[in-house]
Amino acid sequence: MNRVALLAHDEFPHFAKTAMGLLRYSTFDVCAVIDRANAGNRVRDLLPDVQDAPIVASMAEVPPVDMLIIGIANVGGGFAEDWRPDVRAALKRGCTVMAGLHDFLADDDEFAALAEAHGGALHDVRKPPRSLGVSQGRARDVSATVVLAVGTDCAVGKMTVALELTRAAQARGERAAFIPTGQTGIMIAGWGHPIDAIVSDFVAGAVEDMILEKGAAHDWLFVEGQGSIIHPAYSAVTCGILHGAMPDALVLCHEEGRARSKGFEGFPLPNPGAYVDLYEGLTRPVHPARVAAGALNTRAIDDTAEAEAAVTRYGEALGLPATDPVRFGPDAILDALL
Amino acid sequence: MNRVALLAHDEFPHFAKTAMGLLRYSTFDVCAVIDRANAGNRVRDLLPDVQDAPIVASMAEVPPVDMLIIGIANVGGGFAEDWRPDVRAALKRGCTVMAGLHDFLADDDEFAALAEAHGGALHDVRKPPRSLGVSQGRARDVSATVVLAVGTDCAVGKMTVALELTRAAQARGERAAFIPTGQTGIMIAGWGHPIDAIVSDFVAGAVEDMILEKGAAHDWLFVEGQGSIIHPAYSAVTCGILHGAMPDALVLCHEEGRARSKGFEGFPLPNPGAYVDLYEGLTRPVHPARVAAGALNTRAIDDTAEAEAAVTRYGEALGLPATDPVRFGPDAILDALL
């Protein structure tokens, strides 16, 4: 089940968050990216620092693979009908199709019939388990130190920061685990609860369940955050993770140049210090956490010296250590935590 | 469909929140409360200021009714098997059975078969509609003034405050509507989205949907809040309502004597001023709301002078007008809002 194709029509690379995350962090062997807008190029032409693969126009041009993965994490999580021909073709080849949509592939009659007829499978990672319940307020009791990546907005790099910190801590010999909370993180880690698809009463409970599962056998848990605590649409997800995980420390993630909420341009972002006050204030009565460091996504800046200057400004605004963990490595953040 | 029985075994009155709310605020004609622990009494023996009804031990003793309503809002929303004989008996009499559980009656094979056989129906008010989606961030654009009842904890009286304010505003000739967000509020109002049963990505969107539906034809919307912004299990619900409704003003609800989170005794509540800072801070970057008044639930205090003193202390702690709107009427709060 290791050879995969990633569907990312018209969104690759930067708007196909799931495809990008899998290319950078997963153990899948990506045999092709399907993107009609970039067909004929290779991944390395667009993203130099991740796993390489050819980019093709449709499933018909994909070499033998075990699985097709929907690589686009769109707002609302609906199935886009222009993906249907590729999903259909993959199922006719007997492939598994994996997606992290709110619309479940398994509920689609055509896909269910094709999977049945050709021996494939449909894997909806955003379908929550039925066994979840209300939090018991126990995550603060685990022996592991829990670090949560929080953000100033959605799509600033919270999953990336949690993964980079996990790997760096493991490289230092620490018993560290990544706690996924979104569809891409779940695909990378191979387990986890899709927090934004869980009924709101059980959100904290689902996060607590993961913290308790990994908390005893690890010294460090790095939790993927979601959204932002003042996001006009997604703050429920953010707040449930904050109180469900009961972190000991927070890393505040931001993208350089992001002045307004992505996709919600009528909502300017406040300065980073305002977020520190809000996140720390919300943890204080439950289980106090400090913002220990900042992580700045500088991918929009080509010049290294400019990126360094942006990181310096961000750290000064927070009064905390900061870096871009992808560009400059996560050591500055890890040193502030360990 | 107006004659109802309320099932409230072993929890009546104060732990059967739904039964209490329906007795006080609904237009249902309550013909009986079913509670084996208090059978033989009447409602007025236990709750003097609401609609009266006999209390009986089982459905067999209930006079002719159209509907049985599960009157208990338990943590986790599971179906308790000791309710089954009464639900079964109601369905065999051809009654509709209404519940606000996370476990849906309609998914129970026995109940579905009995409803089918005897011409009854199963009405799960906590089952969310499929049409919901991500918030567009538009609730702040409605012309109505939006007032949200927020709390220091769960079960302090947020729904009651919103209902009392709606009625009092209407009595003053204002075009005011109640916006329900929980199962009891939905049963009372006859419409609404069950926010804590909606997937967390769509929570703000579901609240926005209700604000937009009622915002144009009303001058005042009084929104039922849920949980508390620092509740260890339910803060996701609270935060989604706060940003989905984009209120103009908040009323901070508290119960006198509540020092620890109900059912989560390991979590002491901070002082009321800390809540004001958190709630106002979270609204500021999205759509600023001030806490305009406090509502104190004094039902645990028998002596009126003591209750008055408690209200005075609460108002002083907040630096705001305050009252117990059930005991002393909601005018002090309404005057602070209008």
How many structural domains is chain B composed of? Answer: 2
**The pLDDT of residue B131:** 85
pLDDT category of residue B329 using cuts at 50, 70 and 90? very high
B100 and B32 housed in the same domain: yes
- Residue A123 · residue A94 · CB < 8 Å: no
pLDDT at B95 over 90: yes
Residue A130 lies in a domain: no
pLDDT category of residue B1 using cuts at 50, 70 and 90? low
pLDDT at B222 over 90: yes
Question: What contacts B291, CB < 8 A, 6 or more positions away?
Answer: B150, B249, B250, B251, B252, B275, B276, B279, B280, B318, B320
**The pLDDT of residue A130:** 85
For an interface test with A, give the residue of B140, B239, B284 to mutate (most A CBs within 10 A). Answer: B239
B212 and B236 housed in the same domain: yes
Share of chain B above pLDDT 90, in %: 97
The distance of A225 to chain B (nearest Cα, Å) reads: 13
**Burial of B331 per CB tally in 10 Å (0-12, 13-18, 19+):** middle
pLDDT tens digits, one per residue of A102-148: 999 999 999 999 999 999 999 999 999 888 999 999 999 999 999 99
ipTM of the complex: 0.95
B103 and B159 housed in the same domain: no
**The CATH number of the domain where A154 resides is what?**
3.40.50.300
- Nearest chain A residue (CA) to B245: A232
A205 and A304 housed in the same domain: yes
B213 and B324 housed in the same domain: yes
**Burial of A173 per CB tally in 10 Å (0-12, 13-18, 19+):** exposed
Q: What is the mean pLDDT of chain B?
A: 97
Q: How far apart are alpha carbons B61 and B34 in whole angstroms? A: 9
**The pLDDT of residue A338:** 86
Grouping H, G, I as helix, E, B as strand and the rest as coil, residue B254 is strand
- Point out the residues of chain A with pLDDT beneath 50: none
The partner residue sitting opposite B135, judged by closest CB among A102, A136, A232, is: A232
- Residue A100 · residue A18 · CB < 8 Å: yes
Reading the block at residue A77, the tokens are: 């999580």
The distance of A320 to chain B (nearest Cα, Å) reads: 22
Q: Is A236 in Cβ contact with B204 (below 8 Å)?
A: yes
- Residue A267 · residue A167 · CB < 8 Å: no
The distance of A69 to chain B (nearest Cα, Å) reads: 22
Domain that holds residue B24: 3-124
Residue A132 lies in a domain: no
Residue A131 lies in a domain: no
pLDDT category of residue B161 using cuts at 50, 70 and 90? very high
B184 and B106 housed in the same domain: no
B115 and B168 housed in the same domain: no
Q: Which residues of chain B does A267 touch, with a Cβ-Cβ cutoff of 8 Å?
A: 137, 285-286
The partner residue sitting opposite A198, judged by closest CB among B135, B199, B239, is: B199
Give, for A13, the enclosing helix (H) or strand (E): none
Q: Is B231 in Cβ contact with A282 (below 8 Å)?
A: no
Q: Which residues of chain A does B285 touch, with a Cβ-Cβ cutoff of 8 Å?
A: 230, 267-270, 274
Q: Which residues of chain A does B77 touch, with a Cβ-Cβ cutoff of 8 Å?
A: 201
Q: CB pairs below 8 Å between A and B: how many?
A: 152
pLDDT at B130 over 90: no
B170 and B111 housed in the same domain: no
Report the predicted TM-score, pTM, of the whole model to 2 decimal places. 0.96
A205 and A58 housed in the same domain: no
Q: Please give the full DSSP string across B90-128, using - where no structure is assigned.
A: HHHTT-EEEE--SS-GGG-HHHHHHHHHHT--EEETTS-
Q: Which residues of chain A does B240 touch, with a Cβ-Cβ cutoff of 8 Å?
A: 200, 235-236, 239
